[in-house]
Structure formats: C-alpha cells, structure tokens
Structure 1
Amino acid sequence: MKLSQLTVLGVFALLLAGCQQGAVRPGGTSPDMVDNTGQFSQNNRTGEGDVYVKLAIAYMREGHLDVALMKAKQALSVEPANAEGHNVIALLYDRLGERDLAEKHFLRSLRIDTKNSYVLNAYASFLCQQQRYEEADGYFLKALLNPLYRTPEVALTNAGICAIRNNDMKKAEEYFRRALGYNAKFPLALIQMAQISFQKEENLSSRAYLQRYLELTKPTPASLWLGIRNERILGDRNAVSSYSLMLKNNFPDSREVQLLKDAEQ
C-alpha cells in the first residue's frame, strides 16, 4: 500500500463504545472512535512539503511520534500552507497531550482546505474528546456535506459514538443507521447497533447485528460478552456455550472472562 493511501492505524482504536464507555485514552487516542483521519492525500498532492507529510504519517503509524513530529514540522517549514501537514501535526500534538497546539493546527488546516471531510472528521473527533459535543456534532455534519467524501459512514459512526458520550441515544441510533445506509457492511456501526438493540431489549435485532458484525471481522472480548448475555436472554444454550468457549480460549486474561466466571458462579 502506498504511503499516500495509508490510513493512520491506532489513532482511534475502536472496540465498543457502548460496552466500554469511560475507558482511559491510551497515549492520546480515543478508545471508542475509529479512523479520525480517513485516508490521507486523497487529492494526491505533490507539493513541496508532501514528502515530509508522508514520512510523518509513516513514522506516526510506527509509533515514533518524536520523528513524526520533526517531519511534520519540516513539511510546514518548506510549505506553510500544506493543509495535510497541519492535520498531521494536529493529530501528533493531540496524541502528545498538547491540546491547544492541536486545535490551532486543525483550524489552520481547515482555513486552507475548508471542505476537507477527513480533517473535519478529525477535528470533530478531537472536539468530542474535549466534551465539546455540540461543536463536534456540527463539524461531523459539515464533513458529510462534501459529495466527494468517500467514507461518510466513518464520520456518521464517530458522530453516533459522540452522541452516546453526550447521553443522546436517540441521535446515536439515527447516526448509526445512516452509516449503515451508506455501507451496510461497516463493522463499527453494526456492533454499535447490536449494543443499542441489546440495551433496548430488542434481542433478536441485537443478535442479527452481532452476527453480521462477526461475519466481517474478528471478535473482540466485548462483542463475545455481548453475545453471551444476549443469547442467555434468548435461551440459546448452544450459542452461549460457543461464545463462552471463544471468549475463554482467545481472551483468557480479559475483563470479560472474569465477568463470565462471576456470572457462572
């Protein structure tokens, strides 16, 4: 995969917002959002600073934040109006805990490229981390206004997770359904809907969403624990046993295994 097409992995490592609300943000990332950047360099720019931007992305992916920051600064040194350079350095400052500098560069990026949906989504996710929920919602919606945005399901799913943080479950469900309208096989929206359906005691719907999710991606401890609880209510002992076995075998040290053991006692 070319650097110009790289998605920054681990910037938002989503598991389950509904199942794991309140988790600690590891290393400046959010535990319950996904892909706050989308794909970099969608316009395939070849400006003077873009080589350094691509290097910064590569180093950031590898966890070498100090080198990534140096490359991002070099990019802006040779090309101060490089929107992606400002976006990358904003992400880096956010991960380093420099919130004011991060916001400064997000806004600078958006002044240069006002319709960049990937930056709008990134900035909205940043605002949600700061509990500035209404502002975040507005920027998520701005990201969707661009008809060239290739992954609107990402912004919609992040907007839904942000709505959950703001205790607005109705809005969250609406966003997840819209995300699935764009991409019916988007795993992160599916697992969110599985969790919401479970909370609403719509257990058959929760089962269906979870099954669709597991057809597309590997299970997580939280998704298996959700399946166990849901199938107990539905009375399918075979499914409970299957999910329990997968959870114990694949994630023996997880918090969910301890919850299962407590429940079995």
Structure 2
Amino acid sequence: MKVRRVSILGVLSLLFLAGCQQAGVRPDGSSPDMVDNTGRFGQSSRTGAGDVYVKLAVAYMREGHLDVALQKVKQALAVEPTNAEAHNVIALLYERLDEPDLAEKHFNRSLKLDPKNSYVLNAYASYLCKQQRFEEADKTFLKALDNPLYQTPEVALTNAGICASRNNDLEKAESYLRRALTHNGNFPLALIQMAQLSFQIGENLSSRAYLQRFLERSKPTAASLWLGIQNERVLGDRNAVSSYSLMLKNNFPDSREVQLLRELERQ
C-alpha cells in the first residue's frame, strides 16, 4: 500500500518541477522557489474513499485552477479524514495560496498519518525553507533521504541544495547537488542549480558545462539563457554570447531577462 501512496504523491512534482524549470535561475541570481518535486504524483491505483477527489484536485492544480482543486481536496477529506495524501495536497495548495498556518497544519497531519513518507517530508522541508526555517528544513530533508525505499532521492537532495544556497551555505549546497547528480546525472533541476552555483563561485568553465548538460536535457528558459549570456561574457566567448542572446530575444521577447539584456547592450 505504501508504494501506491508514493506514486500518487508523485504527479504533483511534474507540475512543480515544470514550474521550477521555467523559473530556472532568476535574473538577480537567487534560487527558484522550493518545490515538491517528487516525480510520480497522480499515478496511483489506490482506491480509498477520498482518492478520486485527490486525483481530481491534482488535475485541477496542474491546470492552475487552485480554487477548484481546493474544493475537491476538501471533499476528499470530508469522506476520508485520514487520507494522508489529501492532507499533503491541501497543504501544498494552502502554501500556494499564502496560508502558511493552514499549510503547516496539514503537513503535520499528513506526517502524523504517514511519518516515513519521503515525498511528504520533501514537500514539508521545502515549505520550511520558504519560511526561512533553515535548520528544521535541513533535518527534514535528511529524514526524507533516510528512507531506503525513496525512489527519487535526487529530488530531495536538489531541494536541500537550493535551501542551503538560500541560507548562504554554498559549500553545503554544492555537496547536496553533487549527491543529487550522483543519483541521477540527468536531473535537469540539479544541473541548472549547479550551473548557477558554479557561476556564483567563479567556476565559469564548470558553469558552462553544467548549463550545456541542462540544455541537452531540457528546453531553454529565459533564466537559463540569461545565465549563459552572463557566464560567456566572463569567459570572453562573443559567439556564445550572441547565440544565447538571439535565442533569448526570439523565444522570450517579453521576459525580464530580455529587458536586462537590452540594458546590458546599451552600456
């Protein structure tokens, strides 16, 4: 039964991972928001009384209809108050709706019902990091990673790396991200984060390599192209700067990164 619960907790990660990849690294160099990147949400064959509503909530969330998603997950909890997955989903929804107290209440309820669920632990740790409760977040990520049955440890490791970076602990961030890539060398979020981190600490050739690996496995984003422009300017490769600039202007003409590029070109 637990394996099935793991898979339903995974679909949401596809939504959040996509959002994070679109955000990539921000123009100001900060990390993207923490996300519940679990990799499998919504694919469970579990058939509890509330699970139909949970799946509907996830579907509406993927479409951005948070109000309807909230209604559906409340229906799930009405018919099955002990559905740990429903508590996790509603916690994520409340987090997105800027209701941190309600989010934490339901994260805690989900973990009380299923205390070793690495997918929920990862989501809760990400929430704690957003609240700048960095020490609690790090301990919670480690709890998620302590489960040998956790099938996507690169996700929690990457989120832990992002959190450490937010806390200005770049050494710990690099350690987590390298561990993530040891588990899955093609994980796009870890690759783009390593590209950004390498740029921050002045390892420009490494930043180039990680960004190239990211672009081989994921569609370019405005932020990733802007990172490439900045990095190649440092390395002195004018052709690469021109190539990234052209891609940025053609693919993301209304982005903030294009505005920054135009300002840079006027200098």
Asked whether the two chains share a fold, i.e. TM above 0.5, the reply is: yes
Do 1:124 and 1:140's aligned partners in 2 also have CA atoms closer than 8 Å?
yes
**Mapped partners of 2:214, 2:154: distance in 1:** 15
Do 2:164 and 2:173's aligned partners in 1 also have CA atoms closer than 8 Å?
yes
Question: Taking structure 1 as reference, are residues 59 and 43 closer, same or farther at Cα in structure 2, changes over 3 Å only?
Answer: closer
Query: Which residue does the alignment assign to 2:199?
Result: 198
Query: Which residue does the alignment assign to 1:119?
Result: 120
CA RMSD of aligned residues (A): 2.1
Query: Which residue does the alignment assign to 2:139?
Result: 138
Query: Which residue does the alignment assign to 2:24?
Result: 16
1:36, CA displacement in angstroms? 4.2
1:11, CA displacement in angstroms? 4.0
Letter in 2 for 1:197: S
Q: Which structure has the higher relative contact order (CA within 8 Å, separation 6+)?
A: 2
> How is 1:197-216 mapped onto 2 (pairs within 5 angstroms)?
197-216=198-217
> Secondary structure of the residue that 2:76 maps to in structure 1?
helix
Higher helix share: 2
**Superposed CA offset, 1:38-95 (max 9, x none):** 4236764221221111111112222222222222122122222111011111112222
Letter in 2 for 1:101: L
**Mapped partners of 1:206, 1:17: distance in 2:** 12
Unaligned runs of 5+ in 2: 1-6
Amino-acid identity (%): 74
> Secondary structure of the residue that 2:12 maps to in structure 1?
coil
**Mapped partners of 1:82, 1:236: distance in 2:** 55
Which TM-score applies when normalising by structure 1?
0.88
Range with bigger deviation, 118-127 or 197-206? 197-206
Do 1:90 and 1:105's aligned partners in 2 also have CA atoms closer than 8 Å?
yes
Which TM-score applies when normalising by structure 2?
0.88
**Mapped partners of 1:11, 1:222: distance in 2:** 17
Query: Which residue does the alignment assign to 2:158?
Result: 157
Question: Taking structure 1 as reference, are residues 233 and 11 closer, same or farther at Cα in structure 2, changes over 3 Å only?
Answer: closer
Do 2:25 and 2:192's aligned partners in 1 also have CA atoms closer than 8 Å?
no
Query: Which residue does the alignment assign to 1:100?
Result: 101
> Secondary structure of the residue that 1:32 maps to in structure 2?
coil
Aligned partner of 2:11 among 6, 11, 16: 6
1:216, CA displacement in angstroms? 0.6
Do 1:49 and 1:76's aligned partners in 2 also have CA atoms closer than 8 Å?
yes
Question: Taking structure 1 as reference, are residues 221 and 43 closer, same or farther at Cα in structure 2, changes over 3 Å only?
Answer: closer
Unaligned runs of 5+ in 1: 24-30
**Superposed CA offset, 1:137-177 (max 9, x none):** 11111111111111111111111111111111111111111
> Secondary structure of the residue that 1:149 maps to in structure 2?
coil
Query: Which residue does the alignment assign to 1:166?
Result: 167
**Mapped partners of 2:225, 2:79: distance in 1:** 49
Query: Which residue does the alignment assign to 2:3?
Result: none
Question: Taking structure 1 as reference, are residues 64 and 233 closer, same or farther at Cα in structure 2, changes over 3 Å only?
Answer: closer
Question: Taking structure 1 as reference, are residues 204 and 8 closer, same or farther at Cα in structure 2, changes over 3 Å only?
Answer: closer
**Mapped partners of 1:16, 1:242: distance in 2:** 19
Do 1:194 and 1:209's aligned partners in 2 also have CA atoms closer than 8 Å?
yes
1:19, CA displacement in angstroms? 4.6
1:196, CA displacement in angstroms? 1.4
